[in-house]
Each structure stands twice: as C-alpha cells, then as structure tokens.
C-alpha cells in the first residue's frame, strides 16, 4: 500500500507532502494507482517551480519514498499560490484513495 501524508502548519496551510510505499495494485509498469500518484507528485513539484517560482525541498529514494516540502522564507503570495496547488494535489490524492482504498491511503499531519 502507498501512504501519503500532507503536512499542515498551525494555520491549516499545507507545507509539504510525503509519499511512501508501493500500491501493489498491479505489476511495475502496469500499476495505474502508482502512475496516478507519481504523476500528481511530479506535477506539484514542477508547478511549485514553474508557476510559483519556488525551489521545493525534494527527497526521494528506494522503496517508493518521495517528499516535496516548501522551502523556508517564502512570501505570502507564494504561500497563497502554493496552497492552490496543494489543494489540487489533495483533491487528486483523495480521488485515488476513494477509488482504490486497499492500495492508497491519504492522511494529514499537523507540523510546527
């Protein structure tokens, strides 16, 4: 199962996302759950760069782990724009979690 965590600050703003695991829906190369999750994660990373002008903090590695975090010191306008993008990510992830609950779980974690 793939698990995604959206990180929210005290004000309820999403400050990042972490994804870990393999969905197990199908074989590698045919796994539509994994493909959907990966596409959304790549899109948020690229959109934060191209549309908001941020350089997100990225982590990735083995075992299906990837993380995209907002960098410190962003402007209020950048935060506002990032929230629109993260809102779209939440909608996409929620749709996948609803369609494939045995393969993908989405949670939110408060961070300080």
What are the pLDDT digits (tens) for 43-96? Answer: 999 999 999 999 999 888 777 899 999 999 999 999 999 999 999 999 999 999
Could you tell me which of 75, 102, 100, 85 has the C-alpha nearest to residue 6? 85
In the chain, where does DSSP find H-type helix? 32-50, 76-99
Neighbours of 42 (CB within 10 A): 12
What's phi and psi for 62, nearest 5 deg? -75, 170
- Residue 58 to residue 71: CA distance in whole angstroms: 10
Could you tell me which of 60, 38, 28, 59 has the C-alpha nearest to residue 104? 38
For residue 66, the cross-strand partners are: 19, 60
β-strand 104-110 against 2-8: which pairing, if any?
Answer: parallel
pLDDT band for 17, please (50, 70, 90 cuts): very high
pLDDT band for 2, please (50, 70, 90 cuts): very high
CATH 2.60.120.380 fits 2-110, yes or no: no
């Amino acid at each position: 199962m793939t698990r995604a965590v959206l990180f929210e600050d005290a004000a309820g703003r999403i400050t990042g996302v972490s994804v870990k695991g393999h969905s197990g829906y199908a074989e590698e190369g045919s796994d539509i759950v994994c493909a959907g999750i990966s596409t959304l994660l790549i899109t948020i990373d690229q959109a934060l760069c191209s549309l908001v002008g941020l350089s997100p903090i990225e982590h990735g590695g083995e075992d299906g782990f990837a993380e995209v975090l907002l960098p410190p010191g962003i402007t209020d306008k950048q935060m506002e724009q990032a929230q629109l993008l993260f809102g779209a990510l939440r909608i996409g992830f929620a749709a996948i979690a609803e369609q494939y609950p045995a393969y993908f779980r989405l949670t939110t974690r408060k961070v300080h």
